Structure 1
């Protein structure tokens, strides 16, 4: 059983990666699925805890830009005995803005939101409590490259 945290800008390929790699094996938890809900953080934690308590693996498909965003999720995974895995999505601002511009309806977020996340984004470290971290790069033509995360990314 594992708790997977995605880390990256809106438009970096997180949801597409989930559909390609995890849809058949992991519960999908994303605050984007309930944009108008009150107490979204509490709802997210409750859904994660319920799935882990049932022995199901979970993917948290949000930006998770700060250590403070990831910390309670990692603690929740540990509390339920889950392996905690992070996937860091390459977050080139211009590429993410372009991908977002191609979205329609509620899938599209305001460019301002991407800029805010970009400024807040802090690369993760294994010291946060991850069992393993991976770097994900989306290909323009589809598909993804995945490799182990190197800690020196923190200072980039």
Structure 2
């Protein structure tokens, strides 16, 4: 059982990566699924905890840019005995803005949201409690290149 945290800008390919690599095996938790809900943080934590309590693996598909965003999620995973894994989505700001511009409806966020996330973005480290870290990049063909972040 594992808890997977995605870390990266909006438009960096996180949700597509989930669909390609994890949809068949992991519960999908994303605040984007309930954009108008109150207490989204509490709801997210509850859903993660409930899935892990059932023995299900979970992917948290949000930007998770700051250590403060990730710490409570990592704590839940560790309390439930899950292997905590991080995937850092390295991407070009202009490319993320361009992909976002092509989105429609609620999938599109204001450009300033991407700029704010970029300002807050801190790359993960093993010191946070991750068992494994990976770097993800979009390829020109639209696929994903995944590399190990390094060793703990």
Instruction: Point out 4+ residue stretches in structure 1 off by more than 3 angstroms.
Output: none
User: How many residue pairs are counted as aligned between the two chains?
Assistant: 151
* Uncovered stretches (5+) of structure 2, i.e. residues with no partner: none
* TM-superposition CA deviations, 1:49-95 (whole Å, max 9, x none): 00000000000000000000000000000000000000000131111
Whether 2:113 is the aligned partner of 1:113: answer yes
Kindly report the root-mean-square deviation, in angstroms, between the aligned alpha carbons of the 2 structures: 0.9
Find the residue that maps to 1:28 and give its secondary structure: strand
Deviations along 1:1-21, one digit per CA (max 9) or x if unpaired, are 000000000000000000000
CA deviation digits over 1:9-47, x for unaligned, max 9?
000000000000000000000000000000000000000
Question: Hey, what does 1:67 align to over in structure 2?
Answer: 67
2:122 aligned with 1:145, yes or no? no
Equivalent positions of 1:38-117 (< 5 A) are: 38-117=38-117
Deviations along 1:111-142, one digit per CA (max 9) or x if unpaired, are 00000000100011000000000000012322
Q: Which residue of 2 aligns with 1:28?
A: 28
* Greater mean alpha carbon deviation, residues 86-95 or residues 5-14: 86-95
User: How far apart are the structure 2 equivalents of 1:61 and 1:99?
Assistant: 17
8 Å CA contact 2:91, 2:138 repeated in 1? no
Query: Partner of 1:134 in structure 2?
Result: 134
Q: Scaled by the length of structure 2, what TM-score is found?
A: 0.97
Determine helix, strand or coil for the equivalent of 1:140. coil
